[in-house]
A and B are shown apart, each in its own frame.
Chain A
Amino acid sequence: MNATGISRRDVLKTLALGAAGGSVLQVIPSEAAELAHQMVHKEKAAAPAGKYAPKYFTAKQYETLTSLCDTIIPKDEKSGGAVEAGAPEFIDLLTSENQEFQLALGGGLMWLDHYCTDHYEKIYLECTPEQRKEVIDLIAYRKNAKATPELHQGVAFFSFLRNMTCDGFYTSKIGIEDLQYIGNVTRSEWPGCPPLPE
C-alpha cells in the first residue's frame, strides 16, 4: 500500500478486469496501467541503494570491468555514464548465467591483464592512464588485429564488451533519456507524425 491507499494489487486487478468492467478503481484500465507503471517507479526509487556484490566476477575483475565500462561510455556534458547506468551489474548478472559469456568476458579480462603484464609489467588497473589508453586504442579496432595477430582475442573481447556496455547503458533510465526517447505511455489518441521541419 502507498499514500494513495491504492495497492498495486488493486491496480493489477483493474487491468485484469479490463473489458469486463467492475474496476475497483474509478479509472479506465489504461489509466490504471499508467498508475501501475508509476508505482513500480516509486518502489524502485525508495529501495535502499546497497553496494552491488558481483555474482560472477572477482572483486578485482569487477573493478576492471567497471573501469572498462566507464571508458566505453563515460559521463559527458549531456548525461551520466555506463557505470552510473548500472551496466557492470547487468553484465555481471548475465555472465553469471552463461558459460560462453564467462569465457568471453572472464577470459577476456584475464587476457587484458596478461597483455598489460607482458607489455607494462603491471595489470591493467595498475597501469598509468596513458598505458591504459594505449592498450584500449589497440583493441578497440579490428584493423589492429589484422596488423598484429596477437591482438585478435583482445579485439574480440572488447567488441563483445562494447556491445554489452551499450546494452546496459541504453536500457537504463539515463541511457533512454540520453536518446530522448519519448513514449512507453498510454494515450487516448494517436496524433501521427508532428509537422516535418523544413
Chain B
Amino acid sequence: MAQITRSPKTYDVCVIGSGAGGGMAAKVLTEGGLDVVMLEAGPQVYPEKDYKMLMWPYELPHRGAGVGGRASENFGEFLAPNGAWQIEGEPYTSAPGANFQWFRSRIVGGRTNHWGRIALRFAPVDFLSKTRDGLGDDWPITYDDLAPYYDKVESYIGVFGTKENVPSAPDGVFLPPPKPRCTEILIKKACDKLNITCIPARLAILTKAHNGRLPCHYCGQCGRGCTTASNFSSSQVLLPPAMATGRLTLITGAMAREIAVGKDGKAEAVAYIDKATKTEKRVYAKAVVVAASACESARLLLNSKSALFPNGLGNSTGNVGKYLTDSVGSDGWGEIPALEKMPPHNHDGVGGMHYYMPWWKFDRKNDFPRGYHIEIGGGRELPGVGMFDDLCYDEEGYGVQLKRRARQVYGLGVGFSGRGEMIPNPDTYCELDPDKVDQWGIPVLRFHFRWSEYEIRQAKDMQETFKSIVEMMGGTYKTRTAIDGPYPFGIQAGGKIIHEVGTARMGANPQTSVLNGYCQTHDVKNVFVTDGGPLVTNPDKNPTLTIMALSWRASEYLLDEAKKGNV
C-alpha cells in the first residue's frame, strides 16, 4: 500500500482556502495565537509580476483578448490571475435542463484578487426573511450580532462611502468617497427626477492611506490587481499580517479531498492532493475551517464520508449543497447624446463605480419579493477589445464613415447592472455527480438550477428601470432582451454573477441547516465553514463583506472555544 505522507506536527487549525473567508480566518486565528496551516489549491500570487496595472492593450500581443481570443470569456487578459468558468481537468456538470456556471479561482487570495470590491452590508431585514414575507428562512443571528464585525472589517480593510440612512443599505465605517464622474452626475440627476435613490458607492478601495497601505492612484483598474495594495484582496491585506505572526504555514498546490474524522467523532486531519507530485498528503489539526468557496466547500463536505457520517461531514440531515442561490443579474446600456459636449478628460477614477443605486422600493408593494441594487459604468473608459461590437452591429458599413461614428459615440455609453436577491428553491442545489471524478480522482459536483417567477419579474423590473433612467437622461436605451426563452429580460444563467452562496447554511434548527450561528457544523464541533456557504439569504448586497464579517466572528468564537479546550 502506498505510503500517505502525514504532517510531522498537529496544527491548531487547518484553513482550507485563501480567499475572503479563509484569509480572514487565518488573520484572526494567528493573531489570536493559534498555529494555522492553510491549504490553497492554486499557486502563490506575485503582484509585481502577475498584475498588469497601467499596461496598455498594445503592450500585449493579444491586446487583452488572450490566446485565441478566449480570455474575453473569463473577463479578459488584463485581470488579476482570476480563474475561469472551466478549469482543465477539473470539470463540473449540470443536470439536464440546468445551466449553472461556476467560476473558480485557483490561486492565493482566490477571487478577491480581481473582485469588484463592492462592499455592502446586509440590512437588519435581510436576516429576518421568513418573518418578513414568509419566504426562505430567518438567520439564527441578527444584524446586531454581525454589526460589530462589519465595523471591524471595514475599519481594517478600508471602505469608502457616505452615511445616508437608507434602510436597505446600512451605513458603515467609511473613508471619504471619490467625487462622481461626469456620467454619474448625469445619472444621479435623472435618478433624482425619478425618485430612485442614487448615492456614493461603497467599495473596498482606499481614498486615503490606511493601515500602512497607500491611497488609490485613480488608474481605474482595480480588477487587474493593484501593485500598491490600495484596494482590498486577501492575498495583499489579510495574509501578510497572518504571515507576520510567524504562525501561518501556507501550502500551495494543495487540493483538499477529504476531512478525516477520528473515533471520537471530531475532525483530525485533512487529506489533500499535492498537485506537483500527484500524491496524497495529510495535515493533522485540532480544528478545520472550510473556506474553499460555497460550492467547493459543499463538495469537500460531501466527499468526507466516514462510518460515522456516511452521507458526508455535516450532512447528517441532508442539507449540504441545498439552498444554493446566485444573485439575479440583468444588464443594459444606453447612449447619452448630452455627453458629446464633454471635452476629452480623464474619466478613470477608482476601479469601479463612484455612485450606485441601493434598493429603493422597499416601502411599497412590488410584483416580486425582496429587491436589487444597480451598479453603473460607462463613459470615456480605456478602449479595449469588444468596445465597438455594438456599433459595428448597428452601423455596419466600413471606412471613414465607421471611424467617424466610433469617434462620435466613444464615451457616450452608460451601463447598468442590476443585482438582486434570489429566493432559494427546491430545484436549485448541488450534489456529487455519481459518475465523474476530476483529474485528482475527486468526485465532482453536479448542479441543478432554476430561476423562478420571482427572479424573472425582478429582471423585468431592472430592464424597465434602466430604460427609464436612460430616457430621463435624453438618451437611447440600446439593450434588447427576450421576454421568454431560457433568459427572459436578460436574466443571466445561474452562477454568472459569481455570488453563489447558501450550500452549508446556518440555522437554529439542525434538521434544516448545516451550521450554527457561529459557522460551526452541528455534527462536528471542530469543523467550521466560513465562505459563502453559511449565508441563509443572498440579498442584493454582494456577499464578500458579509463573508468576512461572519468569518471574523466565527474565528473569534473558535479562538474562545480553543482557549476553553472545547475543540
* Chain A positions near chain B (C-beta within 8 angstroms): 12-13, 15-16, 18-20, 28-30, 33-34, 36-37, 40, 44, 71-74, 76, 78, 86, 90, 93-94, 97-98, 101, 136, 140-142, 158-159, 162-163, 166-168, 170-173, 175-176, 178-194, 196-197
Q: Which residues of B contact A93 (CB under 8 A)?
A: 61-62
Q: Could you list 22 A-B pairs, sorted by A, with CB under 8 Å?
A: A15-B227, A19-B228, A37-B55, A72-B398, A74-B400, A90-B65, A93-B61, A98-B69, A142-B396, A159-B392, A162-B398, A172-B63, A178-B407, A179-B411, A182-B380, A184-B382, A185-B54, A185-B219, A186-B54, A190-B350, A193-B180, A196-B342
Q: Which residues of B contact A185 (CB under 8 A)?
A: 54, 219, 346
> B388: CB under 8 A from chain A?
yes
Q: Which residues of A contact B347 (CB under 8 A)?
A: 182-183
> B483: CB under 8 A from chain A?
no
Contact A183/B220 with A19-B212, A30-B214, A170-B388 known, Cβ cut-off 8 Å: yes
Bound state CA distance, A15 and B225, in angstroms? Answer: 12
Within 8 A of A (CB), among B265-280: none
Interface-side segment among B45-53, B137-145, B422-430? B45-53
Within 8 A of A (CB), among B177-223: 178-182, 184-185, 207, 212-214, 216-221
> B343: CB under 8 A from chain A?
yes
B474 shortest CB reach to chain A, Å: 14
A40 touches B59 (CB 8 A): yes
B400 touches A76 (CB 8 A): yes
Contact of B392 among A166, A184, A186 (CB under 8 A): A166
> B134: CB under 8 A from chain A?
no
* Chain B positions near chain A (C-beta within 8 angstroms): 46-49, 53-59, 61-65, 67-70, 178-182, 184-185, 207, 212-214, 216-221, 227-229, 341-350, 380-389, 391-393, 396-400, 402-404, 406-407, 410-411
Q: Which residues of A contact B184 (CB under 8 A)?
A: 193
Sample of 7 more A-B contacts, CB < 8 Å, known A173-B56, A182-B346: A33-B228, A74-B403, A76-B404, A166-B389, A166-B391, A181-B380, A190-B207
Contact A37/B398 with A98-B68, A170-B387, A171-B384 known, Cβ cut-off 8 Å: no
Contact A175/B400 with A16-B48, A183-B346 known, Cβ cut-off 8 Å: no
**Chain A, residue nearest B182 (CB):** A193
B54 touches A184 (CB 8 A): yes
A94 touches B217 (CB 8 A): no
Bound state CA distance, A167 and B227, in angstroms? Answer: 27
B178 touches A163 (CB 8 A): no
Q: Which residues of A contact B213 (CB under 8 A)?
A: 18-19
B214 touches A19 (CB 8 A): yes
B335 shortest CB reach to chain A, Å: 15
Q: Which residues of A contact B65 (CB under 8 A)?
A: 90, 94, 167
B58 touches A33 (CB 8 A): no
Bound state CA distance, A141 and B397, in angstroms? Answer: 6
B217 touches A171 (CB 8 A): no
**Chain A, residue nearest B347 (CB):** A183
Bound state CA distance, A29 and B219, in angstroms? Answer: 13
Smallest CB-CB A-B distances: 3 pairs = A192-B179, A98-B68, A171-B57
Contact of B181 among A28, A90, A140, A193 (CB under 8 A): A193
B407 touches A179 (CB 8 A): yes
**Chain A, residue nearest B410 (CB):** A179
Bound state CA distance, A33 and B184, in angstroms? Answer: 28
**Chain B, residue nearest A192 (CB):** B179
A46 shortest CB reach to chain B, Å: 14
Q: Which residues of B contact A163 (CB under 8 A)?
A: 386, 388-389, 392
Bound state CA distance, A106 and B531, in angstroms? Answer: 47
B518 shortest CB reach to chain A, Å: 32
Contact of B63 among A16, A162, A167, A183 (CB under 8 A): A167
B343 touches A34 (CB 8 A): no
Contact A187/B387 with A16-B47, A182-B346, A197-B343 known, Cβ cut-off 8 Å: no
Bound state CA distance, A93 and B398, in angstroms? Answer: 23
B242 shortest CB reach to chain A, Å: 15
Q: Which residues of B contact A28 (CB under 8 A)?
A: 214
Bound state CA distance, A97 and B65, in angstroms? Answer: 12
Contact of A101 among B55, B68, B180, B391 (CB under 8 A): B68
A29 touches B59 (CB 8 A): no
A194 touches B343 (CB 8 A): yes
Bound state CA distance, A93 and B349, in angstroms? Answer: 33
A52 shortest CB reach to chain B, Å: 11
Q: Which residues of B contact A37 (CB under 8 A)?
A: 54-55
Q: Which residues of A contact B399 (CB under 8 A)?
A: 71-74
A45 shortest CB reach to chain B, Å: 12
Q: Which residues of B contact A19 (CB under 8 A)?
A: 212-214, 228-229
Bound state CA distance, A166 and B65, in angstroms? Answer: 13
Q: Which residues of B contact A175 (CB under 8 A)?
A: 383
Q: Which residues of B contact A44 (CB under 8 A)?
A: 59
B220 touches A197 (CB 8 A): no
Q: Which residues of B contact A73 (CB under 8 A)?
A: 398-399, 402-403
A163 shortest CB reach to chain B, Å: 5
Q: Which residues of B contact A162 (CB under 8 A)?
A: 392, 396, 398, 402
